[in-house]
Amino acid sequence: MAIISEYHKQTQSVPDHVGIIMDGNRRFAQRLMLQPWKGHEWGAKKVEDVLEWSRELGIKTMTLYCLSYENLKSRPKNEIDMLLGIFEREFGKKETLEKLQKNNARAFVIGKTELLPKKLQAILHNLEEKTKNNTKHIVNFAIVYGGREEILDAARKIALDAKNGKIDPKKIDEKIFGSFLLTPECKDPDLIIRTGGEKRISGFLLWQSAYSELFFTDKMWPDFGKDDLMAALEDYNGRKRRFGK
């Protein structure tokens, strides 16, 4: 709490929307000579901490990259099965919904959720439905998400509407295109943080992150601490955002 209080004293700007690419769970487990899914279990616990810190800071929107579309297809089946089991447990427990309701936070799940097991789909849908009237915070959970897939799906929907005469192709602009994406309720992310040492965005919010500030840290996601979040925010506040100007 002291670190957060000190941050508020020293800075005037808190990003409205922060996205996090939560990388390094598998390498964290490997370092401890554990099975890969053990790293995902540690990572799931870290999500709770970071959401609490972001709420204390006044960050209105968080988007968390939980599972990419590409990883669903490429990772070993037993690892994916264990990860989906963790999702089912964490999103399904009553404490998850209770915290969202207590903090007046609305949950969205973005991605190709139709590829998930039916039981998990139902749990995620219930979380969205039960929090749909909350207005203070937004938490986007990107699950089976791919930025290229999101853009392609939006283009397909726009093309279909144009074909059916619902939209004039000449009037399609950034605002209209953005309304067909998976985050129409949110402003574009101000800051994107990637843990795990890699310096790329791996398809995360490709359209929305056009002018986002990027922050990379070597910390593995389960090791990511409050001081690391503060470091990212302090770095963000040291930059002059130009938005292409």
Which residue numbers are catalytic?
Answer: 23, 71
| Closest to 108 (Cα-Cα) out of 144, 151, 140 | 140
**Residue recorded with tokens 């699950």:** 143
Task: Give dist(CA 41, CA 159) in Å, integer.
Answer: 41
Task: Give dist(CA 193, CA 112) in Å, integer.
Answer: 23
- Specify the 3-state DSSP secondary structure of 122: helix
Report yes or no: 232 and 19 within 8 Å, Cβ to Cβ: no
Residues forming beta bridges with residue 145, ordered by sequence position: 68
Report yes or no: 63 and 189 within 8 Å, Cβ to Cβ: yes
Residues forming beta bridges with residue 109, ordered by sequence position: 141
**Residue recorded with tokens 């020293």:** 10
Name the packing angle between helices 118-130 and 77-92 (round to 10°). 30
Instruction: Count H helices and E strands in the chain, helices first.
Output: 10, 6
| Closest to 203 (Cα-Cα) out of 123, 245, 142 | 142
Region for residue 179 given its phi and psi (left: phi exceeds 0; alpha: psi -120 to 50; beta: otherwise): alpha
